[in-house]
Structure 1
Amino acid sequence: MATAPRPAEAVIFDFYGTLVRLVDPLPPSHASVFHRLGLDAHVEAWGDQWATGPADGEDHRVHSVGEREYLAWEVDRLRRRALECGVPEEAAGPLAAELDRANKALHLELFEDVKAVLAQLREHGRTVALCSNWYWDLDRAVAGCGLTDLVDAAVTSARVGVRKPHPRIYRAALDACGVAPERALFVGDMWEVDVEGPLAQGIRAVHLRRPDRAVDGIAPPLPDRAHRIASLEELGALL
């Protein structure tokens, strides 16, 4: 006979796509930055702008020793990629700086169900945390969305030095909450990093599939210790 899961003392949320979404005005496209700087010939070699960041699971602890070092690494990654795409050396630095600014020109909006659900979790004594593949300033993004008073801890890949689904970032989130894996619930919209990653660390996972989700496709079958919801309002039944 299956044993019922232990009650969750902490609920750990992904950030983008789970609690917040992009709204207009959207960030400038990388292609528009290339065109503005007169580097039209290199746009095709640059490719998909969403593939220019660190890879899922990447370990970049050597660059995450401090904010200045991490921010410098972000720009230098873009500069080196530009050089590989044939951008002249004298143009690669200014281009990288512009692309970095474009990447971070984000206007975020909370999904409608977020504040009420997070407030209810905290009213019932649950620790609420974030665990996100994000930039260094996750705390500022949280404040900008009006969530500071509803979040007990925020863990970003930039500061931990690894990206989901690397085990270290989930352990950092658990440590920030002060709970064991079996007493936590992880909620996110991405399958590999928000479901498979937490499950591998002994954390129950909830796959959030909003009707207006940014990521489409067929939802994989649910493994043991995983659940699927269409709204955060359904979380209460899983705690």
Structure 2
Amino acid sequence: MLFDFFGTLVDHSLCGAENDFTRSHDLMRTLGAPLTYDEFLAAWSKNSAQFAQLSEIDNREYSMTDIGTAFLREVLGCPPARADVDQLVHTYLSEWNRGVRHLPGIGDLLTALAGEYWLAVVSNTQEADLVPDHLEAMGVQHLFDTVVTSFEVGWRKPHPTIYTAALNELGIAPGAAVFVGDTYEADYRGPPASRDPLAPHRPTQPSGHTPRGTPLVNLRAACPSRGTHLSMPRSGRSTTCWSDSPLCGGPDRTSPPGMGLR
């Protein structure tokens, strides 16, 4: 059973408006960039958006170090020291993480599922430790047989490589996998180009329509039914599961600045 992470096992701020990046802004100013707080956020957003647009072309992953380097090069007017980039990225992530919410009941659900299935996380992220650190803080890291991220693979969902990597880690075929995610276009409709020819037919949904289904907490009971669709509406999104579908997933286009996560 393969899980998306952000928006599925944890919730997070979609726009970053509730996050306070004051320490990141102060650090930037100590490095020599006299931007106001709003100018700082605008410049960071612009740089991260540029990387996201490039990633949309071929689904190659970028890193927070890439964003931090480009950002400081722009606001300082010269190539930044790697130590300064690392400090800014660390500070930014510590502030961004305040907008990540661990969902109640997830630990009990995963504990029950781990007794019956191999579990894996397959997530888009631009930092190596971000997902593992959250799993550890949630007290569930030991329940997962593998954690596969776009940062380590180099390719974002929905590129087939990241799913293949997860399947290889588990030693299973696509038809034996359940994927649970929260994006209709990506997690529900995303994989036709790589879909298993033996996978069941999935009903066509009108553009923009999100199917209704069973809450995530009922995943254990619902997944054994072949072709079952599950959804958990949250902030206009849904969590979906196809019990014998090809793997599916996609990059988050509504994440906070610099965090194209899924």
TM range (shorter): 0.5 to 0.7
What TM-score results when the alignment is normalised by the length of structure 1? 0.65
What TM-score results when the alignment is normalised by the length of structure 2? 0.60
Kindly indicate whether the alpha-carbon contact (under 8 Å) linking 1:155 and 1:173 is maintained by their aligned counterparts in 2.
yes
- Deviation for aligned residue 1:187: 0.8
Taking the aligned partners of 1:101 and 1:49, their CA distance within structure 2 comes to 17
- Deviation for aligned residue 1:20: 1.5
- Deviation for aligned residue 1:163: 1.2
Taking the aligned partners of 2:128 and 2:10, their CA distance within structure 1 comes to 17
Alignment equivalent of 2:128, drawn from 113, 136, 143: 136
Please list the CA deviations of residues 5-28 of structure 1 after superposition, one character each: whole Å capped at 9, or x if unmatched.
xxxxxx1101111111349x9462
Judged with a 3 Å threshold, the aligned counterparts in structure 2 of structure 1 residues 99 and 196 are, in CA distance, closer, same or farther, namely farther
2:232 maps to which residue? none
Alignment equivalent of 2:117, drawn from 121, 126, 130: 126
Taking the aligned partners of 1:102 and 1:155, their CA distance within structure 2 comes to 24
- Deviation for aligned residue 1:161: 1.4
Please list the CA deviations of residues 195-214 of structure 1 after superposition, one character each: whole Å capped at 9, or x if unmatched.
3345544378xxxxxxxxxx
Please list the CA deviations of residues 13-48 of structure 1 after superposition, one character each: whole Å capped at 9, or x if unmatched.
01111111349x946269835774443175344435
Taking the aligned partners of 1:47 and 1:120, their CA distance within structure 2 comes to 40
Taking the aligned partners of 2:146 and 2:26, their CA distance within structure 1 comes to 35
Is 1:237 the counterpart of 2:222 in the alignment? Answer: yes
2:93 maps to which residue? 104
| Runs (5+) with no aligned partner, structure 2 | 200-205, 225-262
1:58 maps to which residue? 59
Kindly indicate whether the alpha-carbon contact (under 8 Å) linking 1:27 and 1:103 is maintained by their aligned counterparts in 2.
no
Is 1:21 the counterpart of 2:11 in the alignment? Answer: yes
1:87 maps to which residue? 76
Taking the aligned partners of 2:88 and 2:136, their CA distance within structure 1 comes to 24
Counting only pairs closer than 5 Å after superposition, residues 185-196 of structure 1 correspond to structure 2 as 185-196=178-189
For 2:34, the aligned partner's letter is L
Kindly indicate whether the alpha-carbon contact (under 8 Å) linking 1:58 and 1:162 is maintained by their aligned counterparts in 2.
yes
Judged with a 3 Å threshold, the aligned counterparts in structure 2 of structure 1 residues 229 and 30 are, in CA distance, closer, same or farther, namely farther
Taking the aligned partners of 1:27 and 1:53, their CA distance within structure 2 comes to 23
Judged with a 3 Å threshold, the aligned counterparts in structure 2 of structure 1 residues 19 and 35 are, in CA distance, closer, same or farther, namely same
Taking the aligned partners of 1:74 and 1:89, their CA distance within structure 2 comes to 19
More strand by share: 1
Kindly indicate whether the alpha-carbon contact (under 8 Å) linking 2:107 and 2:138 is maintained by their aligned counterparts in 1.
no
Is 1:157 the counterpart of 2:150 in the alignment? Answer: yes
Please list the CA deviations of residues 127-184 of structure 1 after superposition, one character each: whole Å capped at 9, or x if unmatched.
1110011221233332122112321211111111111111100111122222211111
Kindly indicate whether the alpha-carbon contact (under 8 Å) linking 1:46 and 1:82 is maintained by their aligned counterparts in 2.
no
2:251 maps to which residue? none
Q: Tell me, what secondary structure is at the counterpart of 1:130?
A: strand
